[in-house]
Structures are given as C-alpha cells and as structure tokens.
Amino acid sequence: MSPDASWTFEPGVIALVLIVGAAYVQRWRAVRAHDGPRGAGGWRLLSFLAGLLGILVALISPIDRLAEQILAMHMVQHVILLDFVPILLILGLTKAILRPITRRLQPIENAAGPLGHPVVAVLLYIGAMCVWHIPALYDAAAQHASIHVLEHVAFMSAGLLYWWHLVGPLRSRLRASGMQPVAYMLSTKFFVGLLGIVLTFAPEALYAFYKDQPDYWGLTPQADQAVAGLIMALEQSIIMGIALAWLFSRMLSESEREEQRAELYADRERELRVPAPALATATATAAEPEPSTPPARAAAAAAKPSRRKKNQPTRIRRV
C-alpha cells in the first residue's frame, strides 16, 4: 500500500523562510560590497540558503506528509531540523554579517550566566531527543498540530544552540576550546545514538499512533520503528565523524596561527630591542654639551679620561 506523498505547502513556513532569506541576502550583499569575500563569501550565502531549503524540505515537502503516516519519515524530518538545518544556517554567518547585533549578544550571554555554558547545550540537545521520544509525547505530537509545531521548535532551538557553540563565528568567553569540543561531540552523539539503538532493537512497537497506520511500503509497525531507530543512530554517527574531522582540522589551523603570531611577535621584539649599555652610552653622549670656544674645547679634552689601552707602555720623550 502506498502512502499519501503530497506537498503540504504550509503558508506560515513559506512566509518565514522568505522573510528570513530576504533579510539575509540584503545583509550579505551589503557586507560583500564593504568587506569583500572575506566578510561575506559566496559559500556562506549558499550554506545559509541551503539551510532555509532544508526547512522547506522538512516542513512542506512530501516528507512532512509522510511523517504523519510512517515513523521512519518522521525521524528523517527530525534529524533534518535538529542537525542539518542548524549547521547550514550557522555556517552561513560571519562576524561581519552579525555586526549589527554583536553588541546585544554580550549582555544576553552575561545575563544567561551558567545557562550559556556548552554543557547546558549538550543537556538540552540530549533532553529534547529523549523527552520528545517518550511514547505519550510522541503520539500527542503526531495527533495534534500545535504540539507538533512545538516539537519542531524545540528540536530546531536545541540544534541551533548546540551547534552554535561548535561552529558559531563569534568567540564566547564560555566557548569550548582545546579538546573540549571533541568531548562535547562524543558525549552528545553517544547518548542520542544509544536512543536510536534502543528504538531499533525494542521488542515491540512503542508508539500507538503508528500502530494504527497501515503497513505502508510493506513495513510493520515494529519494522518501521526499527528503521527509524537505525536512521537516528546512523545519522548521529555520520554527523559525528564529519564534525570530529572538521574540529581536528580547525584545531590544527588555530595552533599553526598561534605559532605564527608568536614568532612574528618575537621577531618584532628582537628588532625593537636595544642593548642597555649602548643605549646608556648614546644617552650620555647626547646629553653632554659640546664646548663652543677653543679654550673650552681644550679644557674638556684634558678632562676626558685617557683612552690608552691598559697594557700599552708609556712613551718617554727624549730631551
């Protein structure tokens, strides 16, 4: 039996994407004209627009309609909103593009206090996936449109906060550094991947809403759930592998830049450094006034200590 695979064309989603896209393109063009590719590269534009396209794919394409009938497609929708869309949107941003709101972010970060720490983002990410996959909440989201919208907002918010700490363009005083991003990534993907494994090998179907659906594509409710769990686990593993490779590459690049800056600073210090004895002699010589009359010059010459070498014998004038 084939499911309904029509487009939903949600007007609210389309309007939101168009407004955000138009605002971004306008800002990108302004920064591009002022700062050039360094402030607004072409790939940044493509990344942000791809993120907006991901929202449309998840929420108005046949995926949205299929998610109402097949658990596996619902899982596809979730991972798009949780990982792919936030990553692409954040990679489309730069310091120059965010310049109008940069000053406002610092007070928000200060007001958030410990809540702005990356560990909180990890807990929210894991919590969003675990809480919304509780059978009662999952069934409620599938049955009621308003709860379903809330679920999507929760996933996107958790994903944006989580990935901001990893790939955001602005450096925060709480931003993870060194090997911390690696631990940050491993801990998150491990627990969410574990949830996927639990769904895959559960002895029975957990979600009543999907138990009542026909066996679309030949999938029984339990097989559908197993595929959904497998999609979650594989997606987490793939994203983790790509992100870890990128993080290691960024760490090496930052380390090289730090070494180059340190070497440049040391070279400038050596160029500007003047030996202390030479500086004192030059200062004393410059401070001595030059005699203006012949008698004065003769007296000054007589007052100066002899420059004869220490072991040089004294010559005796014969009479």
Rg (CA), the chain: 34
The mean per-residue pLDDT over the stretch 168-174 comes to 73
**Angstrom distance (rounded) from CA 255 to CA 184:** 20
pLDDT at 177: 64
Nearest to 191 by CA among 126, 243, 123, 240: 126
**Angstrom distance (rounded) from CA 159 to CA 45:** 20
Nearest to 133 by CA among 188, 199, 181: 199
pLDDT at 288: 53
Domain boundaries, the chain: 11-98+113-269
Q: Is the pLDDT of residue 50 over 80?
A: yes
The mean per-residue pLDDT over the stretch 228-253 comes to 88
**Angstrom distance (rounded) from CA 247 to CA 49:** 23
Q: Cβ–Cβ contacts within 10 Å for residue 135, how many?
A: 12
pLDDT at 59: 96
Q: In the chain, what percentage of residues exceed pLDDT 70?
A: 83
Residue 193's alpha-carbon distances to 77, 79, 186, 235, 248, in angstroms, are 16, 12, 10, 8, 21
Q: Residue 5: CB partners within 8 Å, gap ≥ 6? A: 62, 65, 66
| pLDDT tens per residue, range 192-218 | 999 999 999 999 999 999 999 999 999
pLDDT at 43: 96
Q: How many helices (H) and strands (E) does the chain have?
A: 14, 0
Q: Residue 61: CB partners within 8 Å, gap ≥ 6? A: 7, 8
Whole-angstrom distance between the N-terminal and C-terminal Cα of the chain? 135
Q: Pseudo-torsion of CA 229, 233, 238, 244, nearest 10°? A: 150
Contact 22, 60 (CB under 8 A): no
pLDDT at 319: 42
Structure tokens that stand for 188 in this block: 């998150």
| pLDDT tens per residue, range 58-80 | 999 999 999 999 999 999 999 99
**Angstrom distance (rounded) from CA 46 to CA 57:** 16
